[in-house]
Amino acid sequence: MIQCKDIRKTYVNDGNSTEVLKGISFDIQDGEFVSIMGPSGSGKSTLMHILGALDTATSGKYLLDGKDISSFSEDELAHIRRDKIGFVFQAFNLLPRTTVIRNVMLPLIYQEIPVADRLERVEASLRAVNLDEKRWEHHSNQLSGGQMQRVAIARALVNNPSLILADEPTGNLDTKTGDLVLETFERLNREHGHTIVLITHEPDVAEHADRTLLIRDGELISDTKNVKP
């Protein structure tokens, strides 16, 4: 699924260069649930942007589904984001005065999926995240934080992506609600086989994944399997 080989990222501002990623290498297999953990300033957000085809590495190779996308054009990267990656963000990024169904359907409209297929795929995604059908016609601003994040996950699923990339998905949620969202990711991975990469700075969140990559000061410090009860 993912192969990162000696990924380096350097930013240059006013003639000054800052190396943010310092030669990171790891693999993620199809169907794995992996967390990438690190404190603020560790480079994990930069790495997330590269994995999500939102940015490119200064050097090194990033292979997604066996294709080296390190040197893809902006148009090619846009197609990767549209077709292969589902994003879940801390702030949900839902349209507030738009129904749940319409929010989840938006990626299908952009991808020009036939109208006849859209609702079926939306309903399948909402059922996969266990959102009560009574909420489907609600506007997103009428939902709780946990419900909004499940809608965001359903939206990420609707294009059947190869990879789900979740950036601090519990950051705006209380502990109990956050645990419910993390259980949703675990179930999607376990029952539906989705490959999930979870970005977090919290050890207790990272432990929900099967494996944790620890990033610090732009370097991969450890790659450990998590022991679950």
Torsion of CA 114, 118, 161, 214, to 10 degrees: 150
Q: What pLDDT score does 229 carry?
A: 65
CB 42 within 8 A of CB 92: no
User: How many beta carbons lie within 10 A of that of residue 125, not counting itself?
Assistant: 24
CB 172 within 8 A of CB 90: yes
Alpha helices in 85-216 (DSSP H): 100-110, 115-128, 145-157, 175-192, 203-206
- Residue 69's alpha-carbon distances to 24, 56, 88, in angstroms, are 16, 9, 21
Chain CA centroid to CA 38, Å: 16
* Per-residue tokens: 114: 């036939």
Torsion of CA 70, 66, 189, 55, to 10 degrees: 10
What's at 34, amino acid-wise?
A: V
* CA–CA gap between residue 214 and residue 221 (Å, rounded): 5
Question: Could you give the 3-state DSSP secondary structure of residue 145?
Answer: helix
Question: Which positions ≥6 away from 228 have C-beta within 8 Å?
Answer: 207, 210
Mean pLDDT by 10 residues, the chain (229 residues): 95 90 96 95 93 93 91 89 91 92 91 86 94 95 93 93 92 90 92 93 94 96 88
CB 202 within 8 A of CB 142: no
CB 67 within 8 A of CB 144: no
Domains of the chain, with CATH numbers? 28-42+80-225 (3.40.50.300)
pTM for the full predicted model: 0.91
Question: Which positions ≥6 away from 147 have C-beta within 8 Å?
Answer: 131, 135
* CA–CA gap between residue 170 and residue 178 (Å, rounded): 5
Chain CA centroid to CA 108, Å: 18
